[in-house]
A and B are shown apart, each in its own frame.
Chain A
Amino acid sequence: MRRKKRDSQELPRGGFSRRDFLKGASMAVSTGLLAAPEAAAAAPESSPGVVGPGAVPITLQINGKAHSLKVEPRVTLLDALRNQLDITGAKKVCDRGVCGACTVILDGRPVYACNVLAIEAEGHRIETIEGLGTESHLHPVMAAFVEHDAQQCGFCTPGFVVACKAFLDKHPNPTREEVEHGLGGNLCRCGTYAGVREAVLEAAQTLKGGRANG
Chain B
Amino acid sequence: MDKCKYDWPAAGERSLIGKRFKRIDGPAKASGRAKYTYDMNPPGLLTGKIYRSPYAHAKITALDTSEAEKLPGVKSVQVILGVGKETNWVGDEIVALAAESEDIAEDALRKIKVEFEVLPHLVLEENLDQAGDHAKAAGGKTAGDPVKAFADPDVVVSEGYYGIAAITHCCLESHGNVAQWTGEKLLTYSSTQNVSGLPGQIGQSLREQKVDVADKNIETICNYVGGGFGSKFGPDEWGIHVAQLAKAAGKPVKLMLDRNMELEAAGARPSAFAQIKVAAKKDGNLVAWDSHSWGTGGPAGTGMVPLPYVLAIPNSSTQHSSISTNTGPARAWRAPDHPQAAALTMCALEDLAAKLNMDPIEFFSKNADLSGGRGKVYREELQKAAELIDWKKNWHPRGDKTSGHIKRGMGVSLHTWGGRGHNSMCMVTIHPDGSVETTLGSQDLGTGTRTAIAVVAAETLGLPVEAITVNIGDSKFPASGASGGSTTIGGVSASTRRGAVDARDLLFAAVAPSLGVPPDQLVAVDGHIQAKGDASKKVTWKEACAKLQTKTVQATGKNPGQCALGSSGVGGVQIADVSVDTETGLVKINKMVAVQDCGLIISMKTAESQVYGALIMGITYALFEEKIMDQITGRMLNNNMEFYKLAGIGDIGELVVHMMTGPGYDERGTIGLGEPPVVSPGAAISNAVANAIGVRVPTIPLTPDKVLAALAKGGIA
Of the listed stretches A16-24, A37-45, A179-187, name the one at the interface; the rest are far from the partner chain: A179-187
Q: Is B111 positioned at the interface, with any CB of A under 8 Å from its CB?
A: no
Residues in A whose Cβ lies below 8 Å from that of B648:
1-3, 180, 184, 186-187, 193
B162 interface hit (Cβ, 8 Å): no
B residues in contact with A117, CB < 8 Å: none
Q: Is B78 an interface residue (CB 8 A)?
A: no
- A93, B655: Cα distance in complex, Å: 27
B470 within 8 A of A: no
For the complex, is A96 an interface residue (Cβ under 8 Å from B)? Answer: yes
A149-B23, A187-B641 known; A129 vs B32 contact (CB < 8 Å)? yes
> Judging by beta carbons under 8 Å apart, are A154 and B31 in contact?
no
Give the chain B neighbours of A192 by CB distance below 8 A: 609, 612-613, 616
Q: Which of A129, A156, A157, A191 contacts B614 (CB 8 A)?
A: A191
Could you mark each residue 78-96 of chain B with 1 if its beta carbon is under 8 Å from any beta carbon of chain A, else 0? 0000000000000000000
* Surface stretch bound by B, among A7-15, A72-80, A204-212: A72-80
Contact A152–B447 (Cβ < 8 Å): yes
Majority secondary structure, A binding face: loop
What 1/0 mask marks residues of chain A from 42 to 64 whose CB sits below 8 Å from any chain B CB? 00000000000000000000000
The answer to whether B609 touches A152 (Cβ under 8 A) is yes
Q: Which residues of chain A come closer than 8 Å to B28, judged between CB atoms? A: 135, 154
Cα distance, A91 to B39, chains bound together (Å): 8
Chain A, Cβ-Cβ closest to B606: A149
| A62-74 Cβ-contact flags toward B at 8 Å (1 or 0) | 0000000000101
B20: nearest chain-A partner, CB-CB? A149
**Smallest distance from the beta carbon of A108 to chain B beta carbons, Å?**
19
A133 at the interface (CB under 8 A from B): yes
B636-675 interface bits toward A, Cβ cutoff 8 Å, 1 = contact, 0 = none: 0000111000111111100100000000000000000000
Contacts of B26 in A (CB 8 A): 145-146, 149, 151
> Is there an interface contact between B32 and A98, defined as CB atoms closer than 8 Å?
no
Query: What DSSP secondary structure best describes chain B's contact surface?
Result: loop
CB <8 Å contact, B617 and A190: yes
- The answer to whether the Cβ of A110 comes within 8 Å of any Cβ in the partner chain is no
Partner of A134, one of B33, B228, B259: B33
User: For the complex, what is the distance from the CA of A154 to the CA of B227, rounded to whole Å?
Assistant: 8
Taking a contact as CB atoms closer than 8 A, the residue among A79, A153, A181 that contacts B226 in the complex is A153
**Given A153-B445, A194-B612, A196-B649, A146 contacting B27 (CB threshold 8 A):** yes
Interface magnitude class on chain B: 35 or more
Q: Shortest beta-carbon distance, A165 to chain B, in Å?
A: 11
Q: Does B41 contact A (CB under 8 A)?
A: yes
Flag if A138 contacts B649 (CB, 8 Å): no
State whether A146 touches B649 (Cβ < 8 A).
no
Contact in complex: B101, A83 (CB < 8 Å): yes
| Tier of interface size on chain A | 35 or more
Question: Is A169 engaged at the interface, CB distance under 8 Å to the other chain?
Answer: no
Flag whether B225 is at the interface (Cβ < 8 A).
yes
Contact of B537 with A by CB under 8 A: no
| A residues near B119, Cβ cutoff 8 Å | none
- Report A84-104 CB contacts with B as 1/0, cut-off 8 Å: 001011111111101101000
Whether A154 contacts B446 in the complex (CB less than 8 A), given A3-B648, A91-B173, A149-B609, comes out as yes
Across the interface, name the chain A residue whose C-beta is closest to B619: A191
Q: Does B103 contact A (CB under 8 A)?
A: yes
Most chain B CB within a 10 A radius of its CB, from A93, A155, A179: A155
CB-CB under 8 A from B609, the residues of chain A are 149, 152, 192, 195
Q: How far is the CA of A89 from the CA of B520 in the complex (A)?
A: 49
- Is the CB of B391 closer than 8 A to any CB of chain A? no
Other-chain contact of A146, B23, B34, B41, B655 (Cβ < 8 Å)? B23
Bound complex: CA A86 to CA B45 (Å) = 12
Report if A105 contacts B (CB, 8 A). no
Q: How far is the CA of A153 from the CA of B30 in the complex (A)?
A: 11
Neighbouring A residues of B258 by C-beta, 8 Å: 95
Q: Check if B226 sits within 8 Å of A191, measured CB to CB.
A: no
Which residue of A79, A133, A152 is within 8 Å of B446 (Cβ)? A152
Contact (Cβ within 8 A) A2 B650: yes
Indicate whether B224 reaches chain A with its CB closer than 8 angstroms: yes
Beta-carbon contacts of A147-191 to B below 8 Å, as 1s and 0s? 101111111111001000000000000000001110110111111
| Chain B 316-355: CB-based contact to A (< 8 A → 1; otherwise 0) | 0000000000000000000000000000000000000000
Residues of B with C-beta under 8 A to A92: 38, 256
20 contacting pairs across A/B (C-beta < 8 A): A83-B41, A83-B102, A88-B35, A90-B32, A91-B173, A93-B173, A93-B259, A142-B30, A145-B26, A146-B26, A153-B225, A154-B446, A161-B30, A183-B649, A186-B648, A187-B641, A187-B646, A188-B649, A194-B616, A196-B649
Listed in ascending order, the chain A residues whose CB lies under 8 Å from chain B are 1-3, 72, 74-75, 79, 82-83, 86, 88-96, 98-99, 101, 128-130, 132-136, 138-139, 142-143, 145-147, 149-158, 161, 179-181, 183-184, 186-197
- Contacts A2-B648, A153-B228 known; list 15 others, CB within 8 Å: A2-B651, A74-B103, A88-B32, A88-B41, A91-B38, A91-B226, A94-B642, A139-B31, A149-B26, A149-B608, A153-B173, A154-B30, A154-B224, A158-B30, A194-B655
